[in-house]
Amino acid sequence: SEQKDFVALLKDHEVKESKAVSIGNYIAGTGSPEVFERPEELANFLAQYPRDLAPVQRRRILEHWFAQKGIAVAEELLTRTGMHPKETEKLVKEDEKKKRVAEGNLWTVDVSDTGIPRVRMIKDTAEPGTTLAEATAAAKEIGKDYAGGEALVTFNESLGRHMPNFKSDFVKQHPGAA
């Protein structure tokens, strides 16, 4: 069976017999019926044993197993499998940041104590973000709510920043507020 063959392969890669059997049983018992045919799924299961299988060892096991099966494995998957978990986490964060940059979701709106909205770039990928157009529109709406119909600030395209809206009654009365 595939499970026994996989356990034998683990032993060939210097995994203790008891651990190899335990890993094989766990993967066969909790994985999908085709777990030994799916590189991504098998890599995820092997990653759950960081103390027993070093990253380089996991990569070699995957390469060897799928080479025997004649199944192609994506180089990116092999690279990630052979990395330390902290490196993998860093790579995932970089991918997330690249995705957000591609989508343009890097902006958010902050509101000061005086109710003045400010559009700014997000600080990290955990912070929710929107496109610049959405953030600017939200800032205008927030400003209208506070100023009673007229936005407190306007976006000056030529300068590329927000400026006080001197048409607003609130800004006329409190020139330093915006």
Ranges of each domain in the chain:
2-83, 107-173
Give the C-alpha separation, 15 to 30, whole Å. 20
Our measurement of the distance from residue 79's CA atom to the centroid of its chain's CA atoms, rounded to an integer in Å, reads: 18
* Intervals of the chain under pLDDT 70: 100-103, 113-115, 125, 143-152, 169-171, 173-178
Query: What's the one-letter identity of residue 96?
Result: E
By C-alpha distance, which of 91, 83, 87 is closest to 62? 83
Q: Are 131 and 104 in contact (CB under 8 A)?
A: yes
DSSP for residue 15? -
Tens digits of residue pLDDT in 20-42: 999 999 999 999 999 999 999 99
CA distances from 161 to 6, 119, 120, 156, 158 (A): 60, 9, 10, 6, 8
Give the C-alpha separation, 48 to 122, whole Å. 33
Model pLDDT, residue 176: 61
Per the structure block, which two tokens stand in for 53?
A: 């299988």
- The dihedrals phi and psi of 118, each to the nearest 5 degrees, come to -130, 125
Model pLDDT, residue 12: 94
| CA 52-24-66 angle, 5° bins | 90
Model pLDDT, residue 113: 65
Pairing type for strands 153-156 and 117-121 reads unpaired
Per the structure block, which two tokens stand in for 97?
A: 């940041």
Tens digits of residue pLDDT in 117-133: 778 877 776 777 777 78
